Structures are given as C-alpha cells and as structure tokens.
C-alpha cells in the first residue's frame, strides 16, 4: 500500500460538460468520482476527495475535504484547503476526470518526488499539472498567490523546486472534459476491461 495520502480533486465547474461530471455514471460505478475513489483506495492507505460540497454518498465525512471558498472555482484554493489538512508531508493529487492513470505511473511519480516540492506527469507536449506529488510545505507560495489573485497551477509549479516526468502512453492521461470525451472514455474503458 502507498503510504502518502491521495486526494482526488472533484471541485471543478464542469462547464464544458454542461452537468456535474463527478456524478456521471462510469463503467461499473454509480459515478465517475466513485470509480476513481474505489480504484485508488485499493492502493493508498489514506484517500480523500476534495470538493465544494458534500455530494457523495459513498465516502465517510472524514475522507471529504470541503473547500473553504465556495464561490471561486480554483485548484489553488482547493490545494490551500488540502494543505491545511496535511501538515509537512507529500500528497498525491489527481483530478476526478483522469480515471486511466495507472498505479505504475503513480508510483513512478511518487518515487521521483523525493528531492522536489512538486513532481507532475507529462505526455508528448502536455504537462498534467494536477497529476502528481505536491509537498504541503509549498503552502506559503499558495498563500502569496491567493493574496495576489494568481490562480495558475503552472505558476505554482515554477515558483518551487519541481520535476516533470515524461510518460509515453497518452491515453492513460486522457481527461474527460466534455460529452465527446465522456463517450470516448466509456468506449476506452470497455475495451480495457473486455480485453483482460
């Protein structure tokens, strides 16, 4: 079992999906959030969901991290709340809408994070800023960013000691942002499980 905490980010706006993607049915689960939670809890000792509201019926309240700021949709604000929960430790952060990232890739990110504050994944020409290991010691940078109204994860990464790890398989880091992505992801997951 992986001993650093895992936090699944579920507080996005889902504006391109036109409905709350965290609650969309996914494969054999009632929701995308439940699918991501159930698959990762098999590998992490401690797993949490970060969200604006308590909209999930499958987790205990102690595994839910509710954003302190309910009005503004920003991963920086979510990280600020998360880091208040985990003092002085590394945390694996992943978004709810990337359900195909393999455990091997997650372990590789964790292994490569020892000497840096942030270690994130990259495929071809895209850096996956919210799939990686973040040290809660970067909370001072986050406080500064919030005070300056800066909400870019890329800015946070560049202000700290970071490492970007290349991964060859692009499908693994597929995001579900709109209805077409959702259809593709359902087709893709059926292929994965039917080929095993």
Greater confidence (159 vs 171) lies with 159
**First-last CA distance in the chain:** 23
Asked if the structure places residue 135 within a domain, the reply is yes
Q: Is residue 59 part of a domain?
A: yes
**Residue span of the structural domain in which 65 resides:** 6-195
Measure the CA–CA gap between 141 and 157, rounded to whole angstroms: 10
What does pTM read for this prediction? 0.94
Burial of 114 (0-12, 13-18, 19+ CB in 10 A): exposed
The tokens describing 101, both together, are: 């990232």
CATH number for the domain including 152? 3.90.550.10
The verdict on residue 92 lying in a domain is: yes
Per residue in 97-145, pLDDT tens?
Answer: 999 999 999 999 999 999 999 999 999 879 999 999 999 999 999 999 9
Q: Is residue 71 part of a domain?
A: yes
148 φ, ψ to 5°? -90, 5
Task: Give the residue among 171, 160, 158, 75 at the shortest CA–CA distance from 123.
Answer: 171
User: Residue 1 domain-assigned?
Assistant: no
Tally of domains within the chain:
1
């Amino acid at each position: 079992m992986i001993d650093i905490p895992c936090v699944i980010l579920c507080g996005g706006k889902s504006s391109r999906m036109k409905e709350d993607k965290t609650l969309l049915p996914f494969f054999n689960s009632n929701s995308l959030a439940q699918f991501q939670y159930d698959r990762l809890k098999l590998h992490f000792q401690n797993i949490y969901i970060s969200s604006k509201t308590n909209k999930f019926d499958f987790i205990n309240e102690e595994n839910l991290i509710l954003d302190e700021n309910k009005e503004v949709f920003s991963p920086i604000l979510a990280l600020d709340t998360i880091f208040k929960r985990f003092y002085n430790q590394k945390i694996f952060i992943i978004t709810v809408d990337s359900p195909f990232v393999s455990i091997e890739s997650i372990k590789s990110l964790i292994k490569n994070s020892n000497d840096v504050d942030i270690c994130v994944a990259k495929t071809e020409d895209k850096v996956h800023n919210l799939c990686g290991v973040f040290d809660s010691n970067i909370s001072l940078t986050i406080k500064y960013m919030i005070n300056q109204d800066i909400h870019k994860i890329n800015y946070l990464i560049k202000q700290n000691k970071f490492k970007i790890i290349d991964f060859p398989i692009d499908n693994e880091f597929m995001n579900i942002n709109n209805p077409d992505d959702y259809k593709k992801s359902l087709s893709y997951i059926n292929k994965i499980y039917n080929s095993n």
